[in-house]
Amino acid sequence: MALIVRKYGGTSVASMDHIRRVAWAVTATKEQGDQVVVVVSAMGGETDRLLKLSEEITPVPAAREQDALLATGEQACSALLAIPLESLGYRAQSFTGIQLPLITDHVHSKARIIDLKTDLIKNSLEEGIIPVIAGFQGVSKNGSITTLGRGGSDTTAVALAAALKADRCEIYTDVDGVYTADPNICPRARHIEKISYSEMLELAGLGAKVMHVRSIELAQKYQVPLVVKSSFNGMRETWIVNEEDIMENSIIKGVTLEKNVSKISLIRIPDRPGIAYQILEPLADAAINVDMIIQNVSIEGYTDLTFTIPTTDLNKASDLVYEVARNIDALEVRADNNIVKVSAVGIGIKTNPGVAARMFKALSEENINIEMISTSEYRISCVIEEKYGELGVRAVHKAFGLDATESTETGS
């Protein structure tokens, strides 16, 4: 008898019909003799709907209340799945993050898990009850509801699988696994059967939203066997495994598009020691993740500084930067959310010179201007104008020989 933690994403529970189908699938697995712990996202579109409601009131809603609001999406869905399970004659119990509890730090909208109590779940399993957990949410030590960041139900599932020492964690979504690029923007993307935790971590961190980045960190740390499958088509799947379990490796594993990226530039700031610290420290204190940073050469003691942040933090970051800019007499602050980041990811990058040049050539052949560049052992990223994002992904995908001969059938 296997213990399986199975997560259903928003599209898999988008309507009551979908939820009924999920209930049947869960009971079928139970009938095979396995134990299942289910984790659900909010019904498709619900988190966006709730976000819009609060942003109708103010562009920067109180973070604590925003999390309390968003967590209701998953709470409703967990009860909406437990009800049909019960009416099919099975015993089921829904649990929220507070009930478990899943304890997090206090960083609203991107909280990290500190501790996860599994007593209630274990008790349910012992009594033959199917636990249905509301994903994406937790509670901070001071009793406030927190959320784990967009896509965070994956992280709830992997954390539970680790804590329960489950045999595997299954992520059910609207694609039948991980592809070499988002199949919805790159029709020639190829299905990947096995991908290493390290490569999946990079892909997820750079915009491949098929998996939440922290879920991969946890899966790697606790060695959780992780598989991505489609709720709509059972033919293929992707296993996320250790690097040494993969026989074949290509230089580039995949190409990503990150849309949640904006840049802020401070023009004509004094070029003196401590200035970057003065600008970036308030952002770090506000838990805003600054990614690429470029400082121009100094002219007559002045320079310009440009950096990228998630668009979701743009309003908050702009407020903080304007304040510093006034104090240091910057000439101007410019905020731009009209950009995206295209990245090529692969463990072969560090050992294959010329990979970056190939990517730049692919973009230039499409007349796409590169605004910012960053590289690491595993990736090359270029910031470009938003309207060229999808074209850029397709061009880079093709340039690295990743295109499949036929158009992708994702089964979604």
Return residues touching Mg ion (CB under 5 A).
9, 151
Query: Among 126, 142, 174, which Cα is nearest to 64's?
Result: 142
Query: Among 385, 374, 308, 301, which Cα is nearest to 344's?
Result: 374
**Residue 152 interacting partner from ligand ADP, Mg ion, ligand ASP, none (CB closer than 5 to 8 Å by kind):** ligand ASP
Q: Is residue 102 a contact point for ligand ADP (CB under 6 A)?
A: no
We find the least distance from the C-beta atom of residue 157 to ligand ADP, in angstroms, to be 10
Question: Which H or E run contains 114?
Answer: strand 113-116
Q: Which of residues 148-167 bind ligand ASP (CB under 6 A)?
A: 150-153
Q: Distance between CA atoms of 295 and 228, rounded to whole angstroms?
A: 40
Q: Which of residues 207-236 bind ligand ASP (CB under 6 A)?
A: none
Taking the CB of residue 126, how many other CB atoms lie within 10 A of it?
Answer: 9
Q: Is residue 136 a contact point for ligand ASP (CB under 6 A)?
A: yes
Q: Which residue has the tokens 């829904």?
A: 94
Q: Is residue 10 a contact point for ligand ADP (CB under 6 A)?
A: yes
Given a contact cutoff of 8 angstroms between Cβ atoms, the answer to whether 145 and 152 are in contact is no
Site pattern 308..337 for ligand ADP (x: CB under 6 A): ------------------------------
Q: Is residue 12 a contact point for ligand ASP (CB under 6 A)?
A: no
Query: Among 290, 247, 236, which Cα is nearest to 266's?
Result: 290
We find the least distance from the C-beta atom of residue 389 to ligand ADP, in angstroms, to be 12
Residue 83's Cβ-side half-sphere holds a number of Cα atoms within 13 Å equal to 9
We find the least distance from the C-beta atom of residue 154 to ligand ASP, in angstroms, to be 6
Q: Distance between CA atoms of 262 and 308, rounded to whole angstroms?
A: 5
Q: Distance between CA atoms of 202 and 220, rounded to whole angstroms?
A: 13
- Using CB under 6 A, which of the segments 41-49, 165-173, 281-289, 379-387 binds ligand ASP? 41-49
Between 135 and 321, CB nearer to ligand ADP: 135
**Residue 179 interacting partner from ligand ASP, ligand ADP, Mg ion, none (CB closer than 5 to 8 Å by kind):** ligand ADP
Q: Is residue 174 a contact point for ligand ADP (CB under 6 A)?
A: yes
Q: Is residue 182 a contact point for ligand ADP (CB under 6 A)?
A: yes
DSSP state, residue 401? T
Q: Is residue 97 a contact point for ligand ASP (CB under 6 A)?
A: no
Site pattern 389..408 for ligand ASP (x: CB under 6 A): --------------------
We find the least distance from the C-beta atom of residue 304 to Mg ion, in angstroms, to be 37
Q: Which residue has the tokens 């970056």?
A: 356
Q: Which residue has the tokens 């470009």?
A: 384
Q: Is residue 41 a contact point for ligand ADP (CB under 6 A)?
A: yes
Please calculate the CA angle 367-371-373 and round it to the nearest 5 degrees.
Answer: 110
**Residue 208 interacting partner from Mg ion, ligand ASP, ligand ADP, none (CB closer than 5 to 8 Å by kind):** ligand ADP
Helices 63-87 + 46-57 axis angle, to 10:
150
One-letter identity of residue 115: D
Q: Which residue has the tokens 């991980």?
A: 178
Residues lying near ligand ASP in the complex (CB under 6 A) are found at: 9-10, 41-42, 47, 73, 135-136, 150-153
List interacting residues with ligand ADP (CB under 6 A).
9-12, 41, 151, 173-175, 178-179, 181-184, 203, 208-210, 254
